[in-house]
Structure 1
């Protein structure tokens, strides 16, 4: 049974949104802080926007090999109309705004991976996963976390690459 103040979704498979009668200010505040750190990590030149070159660099750093066209399409799917960069406001809305659809876009999945990849080595291991879940006030025990990672780790190495992480968080159909 949930304690008062716990975020409980009475509609599994649907997004919780502000105004749904649920109180989650601490989670939202921490989530926004983590999102800002993620944005700052991608925005190498610290000019307040994510451009194609920065996106490609980060994606290659986690083992993906996007073409320039892939990066352009990813930015176009996320950025404001007519822009070729992603501003903090757009990134923040994407990460913390109301859930606009069940299907998450690739930029959101990349950002989530980077949030969990605490040491920015291109993998999420049990320590990374556990630390992030504690920050988000959804703690997992060490044993449960290791089992969770081992279950999804396709190459038994004790850590998840980007594709394994996306499969774990969003399902097999998103991991393409």
Structure 2
């Protein structure tokens, strides 16, 4: 025990010990946990994060970030992941800790609205603005643009669609069907 010295733990006239200041990411972790994310979400994120923590150091490779995020249901593009890493000043060859990962997931969740993203894309195909699009045109866009889907992936998506007799899809119904959250996986 140290006594009689400034900052000591005992003794008359000594000042109380200084409390360590948490780094910003730890502070942010607590704020996010308390205000914006449920304990169940945090537990789910931690479990998935731990699967990619190969060295058991509480960190994942930045190169695994997109995979971990997608495993948790987020849909970041590679450029979005690069922006997150740049914002946190993390090199793609580096690692990130759980509190940083949690911050990135929170930001990604805030900017994603899959229904609106799909609705915007469908509206671009729907030139007449009637709420319907031809299956053939949807298939062409899904297999040739953006993150291209395979024919099998498109077939799986279209199984969810109610295709009209003339090969037309009412896209609001389609959007609702394909963006329903998975309850048990």
TM-score (norm 1): 0.35
Q: 1 or 2 for the larger relative contact order (CA 8 Å, sep ≥6)? A: 1
Structure showing greater radius of gyration is 2
TM-score (norm 2): 0.34
